[in-house]
Amino acid sequence: MDFEFSEEEVRFRESVQEFCKRYIEPRWVEIDEGGKIPLELIKKMGEQGLFMIPVSEEYGGMGGTITMAAIAIEEIAYHDPSVAVAVYALLNNGWPFIMEKYSLEDVKREILPKVARGEAFYGIASTESQGGSDVAGIKTLAIKKGDKWIINGEKTYISGVREIQELPQGGGYFLVAKTGKVEYGHRNITAFNLILKWDGKVREGWKPTLFEEIGRRGISTGAFTLEDFELEDKYRIGEENKGFYYLMEGFNVARILVAAATIGSGRWAIDQAIEWIRNRRLFEGRPISSFQGVSFRFSELYGELEAAKLLTYRAAWLADKIYIERDRKWREQDLNVPVALCKMKAPEATGKIYEELMKWYGAYAYTKDCNAFRGWIGTLSYLVGAEGAQNIMRIIIARDIIGREYVKG
């Protein structure tokens, strides 16, 4: 067993750190307060190669690994602990990777280079109002007519709705829709490259709205309806009625990157805690770290974050074995528990760190002069359900370890 990053990975982390210190760290509060990632920053991130890290170089990617993508997302989140910039980056790493695997060649060449350069956005559109984790219950319907699909339905709590409208090329989503009867189940789901705005032109049949979120405000969240939206069949991803399986692959990668983002934010919170408990003095000048009620709790939380980090990079390593190296020793289902563990552990560990940090700060934490609340609320989004609810992760773990037949509802 080797618990060290390779020399290439260490150098890569250093290059991302340097970029983040220069372009993200000085602006993260402004980004969160203003509710918008500047387009010039998105462009700089594209130039730096922070999008499509595990995508092949021939499509504009870096030809790297999921582990390297996790490293980048962790560092971005450390320098923007509200995680908004990290969320933008993780979406434009994970979903283009799955899109590359199953889309037609000319579609990949059309879309991916523009995403890599930061000219277009590519995210995920699966959640509907009746529930995000219940993918089998989606109601968006795609009906094939000739060489086109006519899509009707709505998606909600979708990231990037504003960015698609504002970026020069636009962008779209990895969309899943029913391509048979709208009945409960996963065998009639097909995936599409839903291109909503391209070459600066918004396509007909797309009606977006925006939500006002309480955290990670730099990246937009919204909803949209599709009304007789026409999409050429070439934009279908993979085989008809296999979209559920492609979506689960995408979630495997996305959940690893989400865990990495919350770890990066948690690291920032830990560093703020160390500085505060060393220097905050009470009762005849004692640092509050000298009280066991503080230092013992700090030790527990530090351990939880380290455990989450190990789980996350173990899952990333295994994903590389399966998806990048195609090592036949491993099966895709071997990722189920490792991915669910890191997605379960990392946001929860970070949430606990922020809660304790704010208690240590005291009343100061309840002001906007203290920026801890930005990280707390931003990472909270992954406790309340984004990229899979926390209890869904528990179901996956219980199902695979105890046995599916013993955990059925």
- Whole-model pTM: value is 0.95
Handedness of CA 88, 89, 94, 99 (dihedral sign): positive
> Each residue of 36-92: pLDDT tens digit?
999 999 999 999 999 999 999 999 999 999 999 999 999 999 999 999 999 999 999
Q: What is the pLDDT of residue 1?
A: 77
Question: How is the chain split among helix, strand and coil, in percent rounded to 5?
Answer: 55, 15, 25
> Each residue of 100-111: pLDDT tens digit?
999 999 999 999
Q: Are residues 102 and 148 in the same domain?
A: no
At residue 376, does pLDDT exceed 90?
yes
Q: What is the pLDDT of residue 409?
A: 59
Q: Are residues 137 and 212 in the same domain?
A: yes
Q: What's the CA gap between 187 and 295, in Å, rounded? A: 52
Q: Are residues 80 and 68 in the same domain?
A: yes
Which positions ≥6 away from 157 have C-beta within 8 Å? Answer: 127, 132, 211, 221, 223, 386
Q: What's the CA gap between 24 and 288, in Å, rounded? A: 31
Is 279 part of any domain? Answer: yes
Q: Are residues 168 and 264 in the same domain?
A: no
Q: Are residues 297 and 395 in the same domain?
A: yes
Q: Are residues 322 and 266 in the same domain?
A: yes
> Each residue of 287-308: pLDDT tens digit?
999 999 999 999 999 999 999 9
Is 2 part of any domain? Answer: no
Is 232 part of any domain? Answer: yes
Is 166 part of any domain? Answer: yes
Last residue of a domain, one of 103, 120, 137: 120
Is 324 part of any domain? Answer: yes
Mean predicted confidence (pLDDT) in 251-267: 98
> Each residue of 133-148: pLDDT tens digit?
788 889 999 999 999 9
Structural domain tally of the chain? 3
Q: What is the pLDDT of residue 2?
A: 83
- Degrees to nearest 5, angle at CA 291 with 285 and 297: 140
Q: What is the pLDDT of residue 183?
A: 80
Q: What's the CA gap between 220 and 326, in Å, rounded? A: 35
Q: Are residues 255 and 402 in the same domain?
A: yes
Last residue of a domain, one of 181, 205, 237: 237
Domain that holds residue 261: 243-406
Q: Residue 115 sits in a domain of what CATH number? A: 1.10.540.10
Q: Are residues 325 and 341 in the same domain?
A: yes
Q: Residue 169 sits in a domain of what CATH number? A: 2.40.110.10
At residue 209, does pLDDT exceed 80?
yes
- pLDDT-above-70 percentage for the chain: 100
Last residue of a domain, one of 73, 102, 120: 120
Q: Are residues 370 and 311 in the same domain?
A: yes
Least confident of 23-32, 47-56, 108-117, 183-192: 183-192
Residue 185's pLDDT band, with cuts at 50, 70 and 90, is confident
> Each residue of 304-359: pLDDT tens digit?
999 999 999 999 999 999 999 999 999 999 999 999 999 999 999 999 999 999 99
Is 1 part of any domain? Answer: no
Q: Are residues 106 and 221 in the same domain?
A: no
Q: Which of 409, 354, 393 is nearest to 82 (CA)?
A: 354
Q: What is the pLDDT of residue 232?
A: 97
Q: What's the CA gap between 400 and 61, in Å, rounded? A: 34
Is 258 part of any domain? Answer: yes
- Degrees to nearest 5, angle at CA 238 with 234 and 239: 100
Q: Are residues 230 and 217 in the same domain?
A: yes
Mean predicted confidence (pLDDT) in 364-382: 95
Is 82 part of any domain? Answer: yes
Q: Are residues 263 and 250 in the same domain?
A: yes
